[in-house]
Amino acid sequence: MSVTSIRERMSGNEAVAEAIRQVNPDVMPAFPITPSTEIPQMVSSFIAGGKIDTEFIPVESEHSAMSAAIGSEAAGARTMTATSSAGLALMWEELLLAASNRLPIVLTLVNRTLSGPININCDHSDGMGARDTGWIQIYAENNQEAYDNYIQAFPIAEDKRVHLPVMICQDGFITSHAVENILLLPDEQVKEFVGTYEPEEYLLQPGKPIAVGPYSISAYAMEAKKAQAVAMENAREVIKEVADRFAQMSGRQYGFFESYRLEDAEYVMLIMGSAAGTAKQAVDELRESGVKAGVLKLRVFRPFPEKEIAEALKNAKAVAIMDRVESYNGNCGPLGSEVTAGLFRNKVFIDTVCYTYGLAGRDFTTDNVKEIFGELQGLVCEGKQVPHNRYIGLRTREEQ
């Protein structure tokens, strides 16, 4: 049943902080890093003002923040934290421990490029660098999605079929600091939707001692990895169930991805994050000139919805796969690798071109999008050669 929404104007960081206030987690350890600093700053203000009773733990580093999150979650406390870029990289060891210990921590990641060269602007090198740590990853296009995704994160993470940590990702500065109109949900509805965390096993349970993170000998470690993989697979169904429940409450429906003008699209751009809005605008303009263009905006990167993507793209003639990160493999980025492999495994044989764009905050414009769709048309209709993997928006030698 839908509820009355509250109209507001907020940045993405403010929207996530507001969602945290509404959820009121038990514990938040955090260490400041641009551009996510505002989130723990605002949460600490909520605590000081008596609006929530979350235990805020100021720590000496992001490694310590995730260590403290692991400890509090293992003790049975609903726990979240926030970070960006090098902060996530410093958590690296602990990210794997959080996932392998099956702790449903929620981390809000404000995406920022990883050094070097040092830069504080947006790309996806931090989130993509952690793609194989065992965390569920959900990306937002705008402030509304960042807010909505955060509220959905806890029911996904804490479901008994899953019990895995979740990263809720939004693009640094582009959404985190830009102010947009947003629809908030009433506090009581959010609290009812998220529910009370009731862990089955936790350290501070009298009369039922357990060990968390003990050494695992070879006879058992592989089975633990498989159990994690099964839980990640289970998350597919749980993500859809939670999205359906959220739609009933809010009227906003989410899935693994959003299909934009895809029904009859011959040329498709597969993209993730805030740049999807730019792609949609360009597609609308291209449609007016008769080009059958469409966008597939990926929302859930882990678990990776391979079959669903293949089904969505099977009728297209060509797809541009957009990566906001450089993998240094000489071939393509993470999306390029996984999407093309998924298409092949599902016997969808269409032309694909992989593009790297927007690194370290480089502008990505509607003209860039139109250029890419023009290349796809030339490839299909005229047989023009297009490099399988190339940068878009790179300055020429003359411009440098």
Q: pLDDT (tens digit, 9 = 90+) per residue, 343-383?
A: 999 999 999 999 999 999 999 999 999 999 999 999 999 99
Instruction: Give this prediction's pTM.
Output: 0.97
Structure tokens at 12: 């993405």
- How far apart, in whole angstroms, are the C-alpha atoms of residue 16 and residue 140? 11
Q: Give Dmax over CA atoms of the chain in angstroms.
A: 73
Last residue of a domain, one of 250, 272, 290: 250
**Mean pLDDT rounded to a whole number for the chain:** 96
Last residue of a domain, one of 183, 218, 250: 250
232 lies in the same domain as 263 = no
Tens digits of residue pLDDT in 263-303: 999 999 999 999 999 999 999 999 999 999 999 999 999 99
Q: How many domains does the chain have?
A: 2
- How far apart, in whole angstroms, are the C-alpha atoms of residue 98 and residue 188? 30
CA distances from 212 to 75, 76, 227, 293, 318 (A): 10, 12, 16, 51, 48
Q: Which structural domain, as residue segments, surrounds residue 236?
A: 6-250
Tens digits of residue pLDDT in 156-193: 999 999 999 999 999 999 999 999 999 999 999 999 99
3-state secondary structure the chain: CCCCCEEEEEEHHHHHHHHHHHHCCCEEEECCCCCCCHHHHHHHHHHHCCCCCCEEEECCCHHHHHHHHHHHHHCCCCEEEEECHHHHHHCHHHHHHHHHCCCCCEEEEEECCCCCCCCCCCCCHHHHHCCCCCCEEEECCCHHHHHHHHHHHHHHHHCCCCCCCEEEEEECCCCCCCEEEEEECCHHHHHHHHCCCCCCCCCCCCCCCCCCCCCCCHHHHHHHHHHHHHHHHHHHHHHHHHHHHHHHHHCCCCCCEEEECCCCCCEEEEEECCHHHHHHHHHHHHHHCCCCEEEEEECEEECCCHHHHHHHHCCCCEEEEEECCCCCCCCCCHHHHHHHHHHHHCCCCCEEEEEECCHHHCCCCHHHHHHHHHHHHHHHHCCCCCCCEEECCCCCCCCC
397 assigned to some structural domain: no
350 lies in the same domain as 226 = no
Tens digits of residue pLDDT in 64-102: 999 999 999 999 999 999 999 999 999 999 999 999 999
Burial of residue 5 (number of CB atoms within 10 Å: 0-12, 13-18, 19+): middle
Tens digits of residue pLDDT in 185-229: 999 999 999 999 999 999 988 889 899 999 999 999 999 999 999
What pLDDT is attached to residue 396?
A: 77
155 lies in the same domain as 128 = yes
| pLDDT surpasses 60 at 2 | no
Tens digits of residue pLDDT in 271-280: 999 999 999 9
CA distances from 360 to 102, 302, 322, 363 (A): 33, 23, 15, 9
Domain at 63, CATH number: 3.40.50.970
Tens digits of residue pLDDT in 134-150: 999 999 999 999 999 99
131 lies in the same domain as 232 = yes
Confidence of residue 399 (pLDDT cuts 50, 70, 90): low
- How far apart, in whole angstroms, are the C-alpha atoms of residue 396 and residue 400? 6
| pLDDT surpasses 90 at 1 | no
Confidence of residue 43 (pLDDT cuts 50, 70, 90): very high
How many C-beta neighbours within 10 Å does residue 335 have? 25
Domain at 311, CATH number: 3.40.50.920
201 lies in the same domain as 138 = yes
What pLDDT is attached to residue 181?
A: 98
- How far apart, in whole angstroms, are the C-alpha atoms of residue 378 and residue 365? 20
Q: Which residues partner with 230 through β-bridges?
A: none
* Average pLDDT value for residue range 4-16: 96
399 assigned to some structural domain: no
What pLDDT is attached to residue 35?
A: 98
In sign, the C-alpha dihedral spanning 102, 103, 104, 108 is negative
Last residue of a domain, one of 193, 215, 250: 250
Confidence of residue 3 (pLDDT cuts 50, 70, 90): low
What pLDDT is attached to residue 4?
A: 81
194 lies in the same domain as 271 = no
53 lies in the same domain as 12 = yes
305 lies in the same domain as 226 = no
54 lies in the same domain as 123 = yes
20 lies in the same domain as 140 = yes
88 assigned to some structural domain: yes
358 lies in the same domain as 276 = yes
133 lies in the same domain as 167 = yes
Structure tokens at 39: 């989130």
Q: How far is CA 336 from the centre of its chain?
A: 17
123 assigned to some structural domain: yes
What pLDDT is attached to residue 272?
A: 98
| pLDDT surpasses 90 at 316 | yes
Across 191-224, b (16+ Cβ under 10 Å) vs e yields: eebbeebebeebbeeeeeeeebeeeeeeeeeeee
Structure tokens at 121: 């602007």
